[in-house]
Each structure stands twice: as C-alpha cells, then as structure tokens.
C-alpha cells in the first residue's frame, strides 16, 4: 500500500488553476479507489479552493464530496493570510499548524508519505 500526500498550492485565479485542482482531486480519488493511504492538503493560495469546491453548483463539487474524508487540512498560516480561515472552518476542514502556524512537510515525509504537489 502506498502512502501519498497530495498538496494543492495553486490558487483559483491562474490560467491553469482548474487543471491543477482537477488533477489533484482525481489523483486522490484514484489512490483512494486503489486502497492506498492518501491525504489531501491545501496550502498557499491553494487554501482558496475550499470555498469554491464547497459550493454545490461548482463543477467539481461532487468529486470534492467523494474525497472529502481524505482532506487532512489546510495550512493555518496560509488560511489566515488569504482570509479564508472562517470558510475552511465552515467546511469542517481542520486547520493545520504542525510547524508553527504552518503545515509541516517534514512530518509528512517522516511518516512515510510521498508528497505530490499541484
């Protein structure tokens, strides 16, 4: 069994944003279906995706709902910087502060996770 952490760094505004989030969500879905241990983390501008994905009318909402249990959290520092902490909490997504106010890449690696970023 593989241990994989998918980390979304790209925000919602770049030209390639939709492609990146689609690839991240589909990677989580595929790994989940393969019975691999997979978690999805949002950091940097990626934290802004949670507000979009939680909207029922968003084209990726159903995929988001299908893999929501694999979302381990969003970076606390980045959530604050980009003003989305309340939205993330409303989505019932944990705020990660494993390394100060930030999420920890070292913790993922020391726990045996392969890290893939989008």
Residue 103 lies in a domain: no
Which residues, including other chains, have CB under 8 Å from residue 116's CB and lie 6 or more apart? Answer: 4, 5, 6, 7, 27
Q: CA torsion 80→82→83→89, rounded to 10°?
A: -70
Residue 57 lies in a domain: yes
53-91 pLDDT per residue, tens: 999 999 999 999 999 999 999 999 999 999 999 999 999
Residue 49 lies in a domain: yes
On the question of pLDDT at 23 being above 90, the answer is yes
Residue 49's domain spans which residues?
A: 6-12+20-73+113-118
Domain count of the fold of the chain = 1
pTM score of the predicted model? 0.95
- For the chain, the straight-line distance linking the first and the last C-alpha, in angstroms and rounded, comes to 22
Residue 58 lies in a domain: yes
Residue 96 lies in a domain: no
């Amino acid at each position: 069994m593989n241990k994989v952490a998918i980390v979304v760094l790209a925000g919602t505004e770049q030209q390639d944003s939709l492609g990146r989030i689609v690839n991240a969500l589909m990677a989580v879905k595929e790994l989940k279906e393969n019975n691999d241990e997979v978690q999805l983390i949002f950091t940097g501008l990626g934290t802004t995706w949670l507000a979009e994905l939680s909207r029922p009318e968003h084209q990726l909402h159903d995929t988001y709902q299908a893999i929501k249990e694999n979302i381990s959290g969003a970076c606390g520092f980045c959530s604050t910087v980009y003003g989305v902490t309340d939205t993330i909490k409303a989505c019932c997504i944990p705020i990660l502060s494993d390394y100060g106010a930030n999420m920890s890449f070292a913790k993922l690696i020391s726990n045996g996770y392969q890290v893939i970023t989008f």
